[in-house]
Structure 1
Amino acid sequence: MRTDRSWMHLPRRLPEYENGVIEFLNASFSKVVVGGQIRCPCKRCKNRYWLRRDEVFDHLKALDFVENYDEWIFHGEEPLQTQLFIEKLDKGVSFMDNTDELLNDTFRNGFEGSTGVEDGLNDEARKFYKLVEDGKQELYPGCKRFSKLSFLIRWLLLNTLHGISNVAFNDLLELLKEMVPEAKNPLNYTDSRNIVKDLGLHYIKIYACPNDCMLFRKENDQADECLKCHTSKWKPCEENQSQKKTRKIPAKVLWYFPLKPRLQQVYLCSKTAEFMTWHADERPKDGYLRHPPDGLAWQKFDSLYPSFASEPRNVRLGLASDGFNPFRTMSVAHSTWPVVLINYNLPPWMFMKLEYFMLSLLIPGPGGPGNNIDVYLQSLVEELKDLWTVGVQTYDKSKDETFTLHAVLAWTISDFPGYSMLSG
């Protein structure tokens, strides 16, 4: 159990407070230390800066702890909920994997699955609902602990956490099949990934020039060096002396998350699908500016493209991007750029919620792409063009019909440095 920390709220001059600070320092320096330093949790540093032990002690004695820092999560301590979970596991309490809860959390408790009698289902929707039905099947007859899908998700999670090779992954699946012949586990790693891919949340890895000149895709997919600067596509690697082989590792990898499946996912939930037309059906139209549809830009676009505006289910998107340092110390110069799409069809109380953001690109560092960000946006631009001209067949759960969904990038959101990059 967590020790009493009421001393954190005592006056700093009392010995109880000083003893508590020493207790905090002992606990912190036994867990997370980088270069002999830890994050300073004083009111001025606010866990942003890394300092030595004596400096942290002086800060805490002079300035006190930052407010509401009773859980030392920046100093190697698990949150209270996680600790309670671990304690229950130690006591033998069993936790069931509930795939239905996972899907309901993903779709904000609005996912109800397929009844099997819908007339308007398209192929993509059938794949998704089939995966949901698989999630309800027992892994083997009489198994109450895992369903087919929950076992697969747990298996892939362990594979990622422990860095299990694909060969070892396949061998373990074969061993499980020999132990429990009735188990409905996938045959191999590729089969496992294909099953999860039907959720529509997969990603594509695209190799990039280390100097941001080009992407190795389409006709240039097999090239080994940049066509502009002639830099190698691969990192320099040492030869394996025992097997006389070299393992090629890409120098830079772009992560691309296709947009079409994510837009289709929105309409597979009946409640979310109904909210997608809120801007046309339920939005107050009293002249006040509460939401982008009330603005002149939205209305001007509707007047220029009435065919697009005639279908309220067509999606208006905003694009936001900025660089950040994914590492915990600011002494390392690194800039990774996520590109996020925002769905403005949703009501004001939904569209800025984190669960409705769509991560489109993850541009790796260590340096920012600068004006070459357009090189990385190629896949997204092509998909947006296709969504504008051709569209994608989408099943609307709320109306039980398949329609052609179109989308448009309405605007971008960024600070001035990011705006200068996005505009070239």
Structure 2
Amino acid sequence: MDNGDKSWMNHLRWTEEYAAGVNYFLDKAFERASQGNEILCPCKKCMNRYWHYRNVVEGHLVVHGFVDNYTKWVFHGEPVSSRNTLHPINDDEGSNLRDDIDGLLHDTFRNVEGESVHEEGVRQGLSEDAKKFFKLLEEGKQELYPGCENFNKLNFTIRLYLFKSLHGLSNVSFSDLLDLIREAFPFAQIPESFNKARQVIKDLGLHYEKIHACPNDCMLFWKDNEKVDNCSVCGTSRWKSVGDASTNSRSKIPAKVLRYFPLKPRLQRIFMCSEIAVAMRWHANERPNDGNLRHPADGEAWKDFDRLYPDFSRDPRNVRLGLSSDGFNPFRTMSISHSSWPVMLMNYNLSPWICMKPEYIMLSMIIPGPSSPGNDIDVYLQPLIAELKELWEPGRETYDAETDQTFRMRAALLWTVSDFPALAMLSGWSTKGKLACPTCNYDTCSQYLEHSRKMCYLGHRRVLPSDHKLRKDKKSFDGKEEHRPAPTPLSGIEVLEELHEFNNVFGKGKKKRPRDNKGPWKKRSIFFELPYWAHNKLRHNLDVMHIEKNICDSLLGTLLEIDGKSKDHVNSRNDLQEMGIRKELQPIEDNDGNVSLAQSCFSMKPE
């Protein structure tokens, strides 16, 4: 088969040519773009959104066929060229994260379509936003056309908007499609244009704001700087020029765009559904209080926050949030180097069996690539921090569908959840070098291993109880007994006092820190602008997934002596000799200069 020939995709699905082509596609996809034993399924049903095993993908492609026009396999390892891209550069709504956003939007739209609201609430003294929301839902219940059972005006508009996003239609193409449908079905209630359909989405509170950013991550062109054309830090233009070969003209487009999803209307919308409004009180009204740790509300950090701010904790409807962020490649293939950073918010008022479901996790913003924002992530977090400050004091007047009354909703960010590198970005503490541990901070016990060429962090016995037997076990560790107390973590107040005069410098062009910025701190985190952040007992968490996976990989690789995965190698044995410990594991050199390694007690080799 010719590697570039994809004509078999147009053959009937029961032919030998099509079957051979599918196998060729699967071989290439698993070679280039698999994650574990799964790849994205490109069938018409899954549409490159769901991961499946090979036999499942093969079955889908035979039964359903490939998604239309998927001849450039960009999600399965083929490079993306500027002439053949799924995301046109002139499409306002297009982005490299399109398919990931679609999944979130689909769950949100599904909830909106099925929301149950108190119709009496429309007649009460509600805010203008709530009135508009209820009015939209009431109007949306109208039949698409007389006798239509499958669609009403609202869900058809939402489906149309999803169709545009899924298939990458431009604004003009979408408007032309609406004209064609309206001409064919003049009696149906079809939106007049793309802008009308988008306005419906905006009125539902599902829109996002576009905020231009400096290409070097120095600043946002936002608020007072909204109309500025050049970065005030590095002087770079906010625009880039793009030429149109067909018209021989050039136009200016923003060089970098932050997509921000406003938080306040989304939190208000939660309480417009009576069932979810009840669920928002679960942590106070339904949570078992038997001393077991099942939910963040059972932890010390939550209880300490309640003691410090009794006015906030008095109303269980006030929202407790957690923030998480990590980089990912929107093309889902390692052949393209790209890192976009979504920032997610978790709603901890809800019960543990629903608070981590996709439809209840809020996408706060999408920080664009192609590279990680790194230490400059604070620049992009400014809109979110501004909203969180408003939600703390004075709060937001919100309609509660469960009580059919309004109340002043407040919200607080309790902590962040991330992997170790992202913890450095969010907290400002450097997670590299001699003082990499943010818990041990300045009391971190570390040593550089000359042969392995990496830092080693020792002294873990310090966190054991003072009478633990391992504290006196010299042979298994470094030949010494351990009598030091556990290190004391820095409180938020201590961190804030230490960084009181710290000079934050953001931007890729400003890598050198001023001389007065010393130690392991890279910045004073923007989270300290929140009035309560310095008093939070637990400000940053490491996610369990990365820790479990990395430690499990290292343990299994070492126990089974897997090449390239084992941590027990010649360099590590030489480091033991350098440190003067574990003589039974140190390398042995014979008279001819050959080095041999004694078998370790943890080896699981058959011999």
TM-score (norm 1): 0.75
Match of 2:57 among 65, 72, 78: 72
Shift of 1:217: 1.5
- State the Cα distance separating 1:39 from its structure 2 match: 1.0
Once the two structures are TM-superposed, the CA of residue 32 in structure 1 deviates from its matched residue by: 6.6
Residue 207 in 1 paired to residue 192 in 2? no
> How far apart in 2 are the matches of 1:198 and 1:164?
22
Q: Structure 2: how far apart are the matches of 1:293 and 1:391? A: 22
Residue 195 (structure 1) aligns with = 200
Q: CA deviation at 1:313?
A: 0.5
Within a 5 Å distance, the mapping from 1:56-135 to structure 2 comes to 69-72=54-57, 77-78=60-61, 105-106=110-111, 111-116=115-120, 119=124, 121-135=126-140
Give the AA of the match of 1:346: L
User: Which residue of 2 is the match for residue 249 of structure 1?
Assistant: 253
Partner residue in 2 for 1:230: 235
* 2:55 partner letter: D
What letter corresponds to residue 334 of structure 2 in structure 1? M
| In structure 1, distance between residues paired with 2:231 and 2:301 | 41
Aligned residue for 1:403, secondary structure, equals strand
> Matched residue of 1:300: which SS?
helix
**Aligned partners of 1:160, 1:329: CA distance in 2, in Å?**
21
Deviation string, structure 1 residues 247-282 (Cα, Å, up to 9, x no partner):
222221111111111111211111111111111112
* Selected match of 1:374 from 375, 378, 396: 378
Retained in 2: the 8 A contact 1:107–1:272? no
The equivalent position to 2:155 in structure 1, one of 150, 171, 185, is 150
**Counterpart in 2 of 1:137?**
142
Once residues 26 and 55 of structure 2 are traced to their aligned partners in structure 1, the CA distance between those partners, rounded to angstroms, is 17
Aligned-partner SS, 1:301? helix
Q: 1:276 to 1:352 in 2, by over 3 A?
A: same
Q: Is the 8 A contact 1:363 1:376 kept in 2?
A: yes
Q: Secondary structure at the match of 1:237?
A: strand
Over residues 3-61 of structure 1, what are the superposed CA-to-partner deviations in whole Å (9 max), with x where a residue is unaligned? xxxxxxxxxxxxxxxxxxx99764132x478xxx33149x996247xxxxxxxxxxxxx
Cα gap change, 1:296/1:152 in structure 2, threshold over 3 Å: closer, same or farther? Answer: same
1:28 aligns with: 23
Cα deviation, 1:138-160, whole Å, max 9, x if unaligned, reads 23344455422233223323433
**CA distance 1:414–1:397, change in 2 (3 Å):** same
Counterpart-to-counterpart distance in 2, 1:199 and 1:44: 36
* Gaps in structure 2 of 5+ consecutive residues: 1-16, 40-51, 69-105, 429-607
Residue 226 of structure 2, aligned match among 217, 221, 238 = 221
Q: Which residue is equivalent to 2:411?
A: 407
Alignment partners' CA distance in 2, 1:164 and 1:44: 29
Deviation at 1:113, TM superposition (A): 3.3
| Counterpart position of 1:291 | 295
Q: Give the match's secondary structure for 2:243.
A: coil
| Cα distance change of structure 1 residues 415 and 25 upon mapping to structure 2, 3 Å threshold | farther
Match among 342, 345, 352 for residue 356 of structure 2: 352
Residue 556 (structure 2) aligns with: none
Which one-letter code corresponds to 2:311 in the other structure? S
1:102 Cα offset (Å): 7.8
CA change 1:233–1:303 in 2 (3 A) is same
1:104/1:187 Cα in 2 relative to 1: closer, same or farther (>3 Å)? closer
2:346 equivalent to 1:342: yes
Deviation at 1:368, TM superposition (A): 0.2
Structure 1 residue ranges without an equivalent (≥5): 1-21, 49-66, 87-100
Between the aligned partners of 2:416 and 2:149, the Cα distance in structure 1 is 48
1:315 aligns with 2:328: no
Letter in 1 for 2:343: V
Who is 1:269 aligned against?
Answer: 273
Q: Is 1:306 paired with 2:333? A: no
Distance 1:32 1:70, change over 3 A: closer
> Contact conserved, 1:317 with 1:411, CA < 8 A, in 2?
yes
Q: 1:128 to 1:28 in 2, by over 3 A?
A: farther
CA RMSD of aligned residues (A): 3.6
Higher relative CO (CA 8 A, sep ≥ 6), structure 1 or 2?
Answer: 1
Q: 1:334 to 1:177 in 2, by over 3 A?
A: closer
CA–CA distance in structure 2, aligned partners of residues 273 and 79 of structure 1 = 45
The secondary structure found in structure 1 opposite 2:323 is: strand
Q: How many residues align?
A: 364
Q: Is the 8 A contact 1:40 1:46 kept in 2?
A: no
Deviations 1:141-192 (A, max 9, x none): 4445542223322332343345544445445545655665544333332222
Which of 36, 43, 46 is 2:37 aligned to? 46
Map 1:2-13 onto structure 2 (within 5 A): none
Q: Secondary structure at the match of 2:253?
A: coil
Is the 2:107–2:359 Cα contact (8 Å) retained in structure 1? no
* SS in structure 2 of the partner of residue 268 of structure 1: coil
TM-score calculated relative to the size of structure 2: 0.54
Give the C-alpha shift of residue 79 in structure 1. 9.7
1: distance between equivalents of 2:215 and 2:289? 50
| Aligned AA (1:390) | P
The alpha-carbon deviation at position 203 of structure 1 amounts to 0.8
1:392 aligns with 2:392: no
